[in-house]
A and B are shown apart, each in its own frame.
Chain A
Amino acid sequence: MRETVLRVGFMPLIDAAIPLAAAAKGFDARRGLRLDLVRETSWANIRDRLAIGHFDAAHLLAPMPVAAALGLTTPATPLIAPMALGLGGNAVSVSGALWARMRQGAPQARVGDPREMGAALAKVATTRRLAFGVVHPFSAHNYELRYWLAACGVDPDRDVDIVVVPPPFMPEALRIGRIDGFCVGEPWSSVAAATADGRVILTKNAIWRSSPEKVLGLRADWADAHPDLVTRLIDALIDAALWCGEPANRAELAAILAAPEAIGAPAAQIAPALEGRLRLADGALLDDADFLVFARGAANFPWKSHAAWFARQMARWGQTTATPEDLARAADCYRPDLYRAACRARGLDAPAIDERPDAAEPVRVAGLAGPLDLPAGGLFDVVRRVS
């Protein structure tokens, strides 16, 4: 079989691991593909170059296809997400100075607890206007940061400034005081901890357990025209996801990610995210095996309920005035049918439903091969109310 070359854009982040590993470990070649990975400097470039056909596929912010479906971005090329590239992987960090003030005002507040960290932050926010960095207006970072702040009584539009900073620039922006904190994917919190006195106060998983972050992005028309390539690409990425999720492969994965053409950061700053052991603000080590999940618990399934949540956040924060019907329709850019078809063809299990029940406890759902167990999910304040 002759190899088909697919150009894939990515940003230097640990959650680009699945496509990077697919190319580095030859999972692409096994499916008759060669992934030509192109590192990009901005999400806008990735989205645009995917939309105009410079890229065949991309490591994409999970809300981006939804934003395209709602006509919020130009070009208005329809994009689809037939697969998720893992769950979790972000952290909220603050500067050493802000951490000291939070500590002063709330000495008992526990690091990693969204309510208590939120309350500590809210106290400081009444005395000083704080600025927080997120990576893009249409990013899970933006929505989870806003959701958390709002739930803790801090209006993300009125009480703080939310600015956009590209991921690799976050540590420097924190160091020079342009921002007081940020929500970003790894390794940039670990890099900030090592180089800019960044203090990790919260993980994405603490705000919303088992939540979506990046997806495989394709042009809808390209996917329609190349169903066989789509299946092979999903197959190669599933193989890579399973490999990335295997703890025995962590050291090798860290080396692949650390390479200058991948992320270009020391392996020592990449390992914490892979192990779920980030250094926290108070010096303790995070102990969360689910900090970043590559494969297990249907981590690659593109849940329509995730797309719908992003669409609702876009409406909540004034990015769109679309009707509830249009918001619901926008979720159709997530294509669990394509992912499921690829799984069925190779005898892998996958959810048989499109909406994830976000329960505070592990939940059993219908799968292709009978009942399928999913880990706990849910937003922190919703979970609290249920329990």
Chain B
Amino acid sequence: MPASDLSILVLDEDRIRAAIIREGLIEAGHARVTLVAEVQGLARRIEEINPDVIVIDIRDPNRDHIEHLFQLSRAARRPVAMFVDQSDAGMMEAAIDAGVSAYVVDGLRKDRVKAILDMAVARFNAYAALRNELEEARQALADRKALDRAKAILMRARGLGEDEAHHLIRRTAMRENRRMSDVARSIVTAADIILGES
């Protein structure tokens, strides 16, 4: 069976991550990749897709549901949880750390599943890194906004120039061992309450 013949189901409520994983699998030559985001009607979907491999987020509580579906199908094709394959401890650890679990049909060659799982793990990690970066960028932007508002408040209330306001916040942060953005937020909050600014 060439790589492209394997039917792979990616079950992930995070549609963006699921799309990223599918893209990787398709690039690797797997044409039959299906994304499912909803647990509703999952039994029927699994029957239709008849997947050889199911990739699912390890934190997804639907794992218990899926195991039940496998029992109901009573098929000879008995899916096993792949990340618990103890023959490759490194892969197992990587999968769990990344948050990937997979079910594969018993008897599927390990090296082929490994390639799929390695791909899923890499994409999961890449996505997590991307999300962290996005979160950091968002945070930086919010910090910046708070700082600008705090400076504006100080400039108005105390007749300071922008540089002076900046230095005042910075000195306060150093003295109190806090982050500048935290000091800025305190100023904004205090101004909101005391001066009724918003």
Contacts and interface: CB of A to CB of B under 8 A. Distances in A.
A48 B71 contact: no
Interface in B39-60: 40, 58-60
A70 interface: no
B80 interface: yes
B81 A75 contact: yes
Interface string A191-207: 00000000000000000
Contact of A178 (B40, B60, B71): B40
Interface string A13-43: 0000000000000000000000000000111
A318 B74 CA distance: 10
Given A48-B83, A74-B80, A164 B96 contact: no
A137 B68 contact: yes
Contacts, number: 57
A44 B80 contact: no
Contact of B58 (A45, A51, A75, A135): A45
B179 interface: no
A74 B80 CA distance: 6
B36 interface: no
B81 A164 contact: no
A48 B83 CA distance: 9
Contact of B84 (A41, A52, A165): A52
Given A54-B96, A137-B68, A164-B68, A48 B61 contact: no
A146 interface: no
Query: For this complex, into which size category does the number of interface residues on chain A fall?
Result: 20 to 34
A163 interface: yes
B68 A42 contact: no
A49 interface: yes
Q: Max chain B CB contacts within 10 Å: which of A44, A164, A318?
A: A44
B81 A44 contact: yes
Contact of A44 (B67, B74, B92): B67
Interface string B51-90: 0000000111111110110010010000011011110000
A191 to B, nearest CB: 15
Contact of A48 (B62, B65, B68, B81): B81
Contacts of B74: 318
B64 A74 contact: no
Interface string A101-138: 00000000000000000000000000000000001110
B61 A136 contact: no
Nearest to A52: B84
Contacts of A44: 63-64, 67, 81
Contact of B86 (A42, A75, A136, A319): A75
A43 B80 contact: no
Contacts of B101: 45, 48
Interface string A305-327: 00000000000001100000000
Given A137-B68, A178-B40, A75 B59 contact: no
Contacts of B65: 163-166
Contact of B71 (A49, A52, A54, A319): A319
A96 interface: no
A169 B71 CA distance: 21
Q: Max chain B CB contacts within 10 Å: which of A43, A45, A135, A318?
A: A45
Contact of A42 (B64, B80, B85): B64
A135 B67 CA distance: 11
A168 interface: yes
Contact of B61 (A42, A51, A137, A163): A42
Contacts of A165: 65
Interface in A146-180: 163-166, 168-169, 178
Nearest to A51: B84
Given A42-B63, A54-B96, A168-B61, A136 B68 contact: yes
A74 to B, nearest CB: 4
Q: Max chain A CB contacts within 10 Å: which of B40, B64, B65, B83?
A: B64
Interface of A: 41-45, 48-49, 51-52, 54, 74-75, 135-137, 163-166, 168-169, 178, 318-319
9 contacts: A44-B81, A48-B81, A49-B96, A74-B81, A135-B64, A137-B67, A137-B68, A163-B68, A169-B61
The 9 tightest CB contacts between A and B, nearest first, are A164-B68, A166-B61, A44-B63, A74-B80, A42-B63, A41-B61, A75-B84, A164-B65, A42-B64
